Amino acid sequence: MKKWLYTLLVIVLAACSNEIPEQQPAKRSGRTVLAYLISNSPKSLEGNLQDNVVDMYMALAEIKDSCTLLVFYRPQEYSSYLDVPTLLCFDTDGRGNINNLPAVTGTELTFESVCQVAQKKEYTMNSQIATDPVVMEEVLKDMQKIAPSDSYGLILGSHASGWMKGNSVQSKAFGDDDGYNIDIPDLANVLKKSFSEKLDFVLFDACMMGTAEVGYELKEATSHCIASVMETPVYGFPYDRILPYLYTENIDYSAVCHEFMSFNKTNNLWGTCAVMDCSQMENLASAVKAKLSEWQDALSSVSMQNVQQYGVNSYKYFSYDVLDFFRELGGKSGVAEIDLNEAIASIQTVLNEAVIAKECIPNPSNSTFRVDEAHFCGVGMYIPKEVNDYVPDNISWNNWNDYYKQSISWYRAVGWADLKLN
């Protein structure tokens, strides 16, 4: 009887105040965390993203300080408790209460109960999609109106395929709303337009976003980029473990990576995680450019089979380990193995400043894909086809190369266009 009465009380109280107030709230001190989650795709992440929201709620209940979380949730059409894209707002007082109610626990803690206690704003998008730049900007600005804050961090959860253009070679760029995506240059532009100050971090709970191309593209939009360079398990980040770190003044990014990899190991999964300091991406590009220019005569003879790469299936060859590539290139340039570390020290030094945290699972038991920990610098980069001619002809290189050359800033920043590759 008590269990039933408590559930009824939560529903009644939530129903009385479940719309986000219209009046302008006071500015919050510290950081507010935002999440933009998209599950409306043929390969739906609905259940996984719902579990992520529940885990975020659980973390809020344990945090010993007042803070705010806003979650934009784009549900799987016709199959979710939420009927339409909805913005969910949660305020915790640091004493176990969320939105002025005791936090739901135990068997009562479900995605439905979490949505019931949330303050909400619903969006009637009709033919619009959650990856449309106009829609994204509207939602992100709404979040800031609802929760004015000293600073923000943003979690982006959905399918993704890194720098590659959406809808090419089965690619998704970022997001999948019924087949529609947003390309990374467009995403960077949306973030710059939506926020007056740089985000403290962007966390990609999505596949293959941990590349130099993505970090470089976002350098004017965020201070840090948290991502995996390879495909990620559908379960996503363990938010009940990592969310408290994301509210601290000085985020322990190594702990965030470690918690993610520990969760994956416990669940017999695979993975990598790294954090890029995006303020250092220009320096990394300059170091890469200098070394490519110095060793360009060896580019045509480099053996890419010897370089750690991070893609599988259709995405194989989209990204190679940055440092491992220069180890191979240096060897083809005639640098003796004993002198190779010194020869690539300029890249290593800048990488140490640009990649401030990293961790990987080198030998996952349930995956044939292996990451060599000794050849894992944290981030990858694409190597244009002219340096990579051994790759099978069934890979749609024209789609990749044309888009890469025309649209990805990293291509120009590191000087690929200036090199004689043949």
DSSP-assigned letters across all residues of 92-145 = E-SSSEETTEEPP-GGG--HHHHHHHSEEEE---TT--TTSHHHHHHHHHHHHH
Residue 95 has pLDDT above 70, yes or no: yes
Looking at the structure, give the CATH architecture of the domain made up of residues 28-279: 3-Layer(aba) Sandwich (3.40)
Contacts of range 347-353, beta carbons closer than 8 Å, 24 or more positions apart: 347/287, 347/288, 347/291, 347/322, 347/323, 348/323, 349/287, 350/280, 350/283, 350/284, 350/286, 350/287, 351/284, 351/322, 351/323, 351/377, 351/378, 351/379, 353/277, 353/280, 353/283
Q: What is the pLDDT of residue 398?
A: 62
Q: What is the pLDDT of residue 18?
A: 77
Q: What is the pLDDT of residue 25?
A: 72
Find the range with the poorest average confidence among 78-87, 154-163, 258-267, 340-349. Answer: 78-87
How far apart CA 371 and CA 309 sit, in angstroms, is: 8
Q: What is the pLDDT of residue 392?
A: 56
**Distances 36 to 182, 202, 277, 303, 349 between C-alpha atoms, Å:** 13, 11, 22, 40, 34
Q: What is the pLDDT of residue 2?
A: 42
What pLDDT band is residue 167 in, cutting at 50, 70 and 90?
A: low
Cα 371 vs. chain centroid, distance in angstroms? Answer: 19
Does residue 224 contact residue 278 with C-beta atoms inside 8 Å?
Answer: yes
Q: What is the pLDDT of residue 391?
A: 57
In the chain, list all ranges with CATH 3.40.50: 28-279
Residue-wise pLDDT tens digits, 373-412: 999 999 999 998 766 665 555 555 567 788 899 999 999 9
Can you read off the two tokens belonging to residue 81? 């408790």
Residue 311 has pLDDT above 70, yes or no: yes
**Distances 352 to 167, 181, 254, 348, 403 between C-alpha atoms, Å:** 34, 32, 13, 6, 29
Does residue 363 contact residue 341 with C-beta atoms inside 8 Å?
Answer: no
Q: What is the pLDDT of residue 395?
A: 54
| Among 92, 11, 8, CA closest to 56 | 92
The predicted model scores a pTM of: 0.92
Mean pLDDT, residues 103-114: 95
What pLDDT band is residue 304 in, cutting at 50, 70 and 90?
A: confident
Does residue 87 contact residue 19 with C-beta atoms inside 8 Å?
Answer: no
Residue-wise pLDDT tens digits, 193-214: 999 999 999 999 999 999 999 9
Find the range with the poorest average confidence among 23-27, 160-164, 286-290, 318-322. Answer: 23-27
Q: What is the pLDDT of residue 376?
A: 95
Q: What is the pLDDT of residue 364?
A: 62
Residue-wise pLDDT tens digits, 110-144: 999 999 999 999 998 655 689 999 999 999 999 99
H or E stretch at 171: none
What pLDDT band is residue 10 in, cutting at 50, 70 and 90?
A: very low
Mean pLDDT, residues 322-350: 91
